[in-house]
Amino acid sequence: MEYRVDNRVVLSTDREHKNLYSWSIKEFDPRGKQIGGDHIPWAWGLSFEAIELIPTCNLRISTENGEAETSKAEISEYIYGKLRPSVEARQSGFYSMFGTQRGIPEFGLFVYQATDGQDRCRLWGTIRYESEWDFERQTQEDSVQIYVHLSAEKFDHLMGFVKFPRPTSAELRLKGVSGFYSEWSPSIRTDNIKILANAKDQGLEDPQGLSFDPPVLGHVQEFDLRFGQQYPLIVKERS
């Protein structure tokens, strides 16, 4: 795989605000000029809105040893959605991978029934890369996916709501996302998020030989998904 990284990404303890944080991730353009300020983990909330929400049912039939008599059918359901950053203050947030200035306009959402009955939420992502499959060159764009697993009861309740009556809006708020960074600010809002999905793939450099690994995509402290139903009401005219 060939990962498309345009800028240097450096882990460093050299910092602008020495009394506010002990380390940061810096980004440099090909000429060696730092892009933006020092980036540190972003612990506050971030909002998204759903632009597509699809309940999906999958049927899979498999056979053992090629014998039709041993065929087994499995039915599974899941919810797939597309999200985009919500507009906060005057503009929606700009999300990009460390090592690039490419914006990530959409995020994926997958909701499954947990096979072990445990509720959990994790994020996964990758920087753009090119690979060869069946003698063809293929490109995977920068991507961030949110995976949610719910116990059977909670999954069925959520699936029932998504199917009927169908919601007319959905908003998601994440808080404490590992791998999300922004420049230090006294505010609890930001309009610029840098993402560290995989330190190796994104070429993170550690020239000082620091004895820790910075957070990458994975853990989420809070996941808050809210559905809404807005229908026009019939109002009788006064006589």
**Ranges of each domain in the chain:** 2-228
Cβ–Cβ < 8 Å for 92, 70: no
Task: Produce one character per residue of 22-40: b if its CB has 16 or more CB atoms within 10 Å, e if not.
Answer: ebbbbbeeeeeeeeebbbb
pTM value > 0.85: yes
Closest CA to 81 of 113, 103, 49: 49
Task: Summarize pLDDT for 94-152 with one digit per residue, the tens.
Answer: 999 999 999 998 999 999 999 999 999 999 999 999 887 767 788 889 999 999 999 99
Cβ–Cβ < 8 Å for 59, 75: yes
Task: Summarize pLDDT for 98-108 with one digit per residue, the tens.
Answer: 999 999 989 99
